[in-house]
Structure 1
């Protein structure tokens, strides 16, 4: 299956029984403005584009939500515990984006979508959920072209904030995504290619 549009990505996720079970489990929490984001979506796309028959393991399954009225790490841990009770084998991580700006020394985020737009890489700034009508919704603040082109690039948020550029650099060095997905093209902060898997 070719991946060219958001519709293609949603179809691929809908066909993935495991991913749909994860989304349905997250949905049981009934969190406000919730999404499953980042590597959950990105890794699936890159696995597919690499032709992997086996899913790449995820360090975390990132569930985000937005609730300004109940900002507490303890509440997040309770949500994680509820998910673990349903699927104890999965590495759940639940974070309220109404407080996460503090960790990044940023102005308050306006929503989960706004928080996702502040992720370091465009290919990571992706999220998916099931809406109240049972429809699969994909959020991609910076579009899907970079992830489909297998290009790792900093988001405009990183590029426009000098004090945030180190976050992107550190992640590139730490994550070493090209070792897992060798067809990637990794860009530095200066927009120059630092790894090209197509050579």
Structure 2
């Protein structure tokens, strides 16, 4: 089985993740996925042989809609999603995030993800019209299986990178990980 299929299977077998994907899919947001720790943590847990998933601080639902970039829309979506499910939603339209990040405008959700600080964080999952898991990964999924945390050369901010590793305690939780490009 290839790594993308393996990742899809792990997500499919995780009831909490599938429920979150189903709830998010109901919103019919353009170019959406749930990304970051939602996928990264699951992959690192399985690669480390952990039988249970690491609890998530939030569920990062991202999408790309250049015609509706209001931050208020995202707050309203978060409120709605929190009423539908008992998880801490964080919703961000990637069509406006380039302003905060001082980048050129992004062209899609995957393009926006390609600027995230760590390569391994830039992986998301969504559901297709048949309810099947679809993986969105601008750098591919292989880095999730390499036991690495890699600084994204498109976002060369080593201080942010090191701070995130320390604050999130990734090396404590997943001790087999190695830091690349500090």
Calculate the TM-score normalised by the size of structure 1: 0.86
Q: Are 1:169 and 2:166 counterparts?
A: no
Report the CA distance between 1:170 and its aligned residue: 2.6
Match of 1:193 in 2: none
Which portions of structure 1, spanning 4 or more consecutive aligned residues, are displaced by more than 4 angstroms? Answer: none
Stretches of structure 2 that go unaligned for 5 or more consecutive residues are none
Q: Are 1:182 and 2:179 counterparts?
A: no
Stretches of structure 1 that go unaligned for 5 or more consecutive residues are 190-199
Higher radius of gyration, 1 or 2: 1
For residues 109 and 188 of structure 1, the distance between their equivalents in structure 2, rounded to whole angstroms, comes to 24
Task: Name which of 87, 91, 97 aligns with 2:94.
Answer: 97
Give the length in aligned residue pairs.
Answer: 182
For residues 102 and 167 of structure 1, the distance between their equivalents in structure 2, rounded to whole angstroms, comes to 18
Q: What's the secondary structure of 1:55's corresponding residue?
A: coil
Match of 1:52 in 2: 50
- Retained in 2: the 8 A contact 1:121–1:154? yes
For residues 59 and 82 of structure 2, the distance between their equivalents in structure 1, rounded to whole angstroms, comes to 11
Q: Are 1:141 and 2:138 counterparts?
A: yes
- Retained in 2: the 8 A contact 1:158–1:168? no
Report the CA distance between 1:137 and its aligned residue: 0.7
For residues 40 and 186 of structure 1, the distance between their equivalents in structure 2, rounded to whole angstroms, comes to 20
Report the CA distance between 1:76 and its aligned residue: 0.3
Task: Flag the structure with more relative contact order, 1 or 2, with Cα contacts below 8 A and sequence separation at least 6.
Answer: 2
- Retained in 1: the 8 A contact 2:165–2:171? no
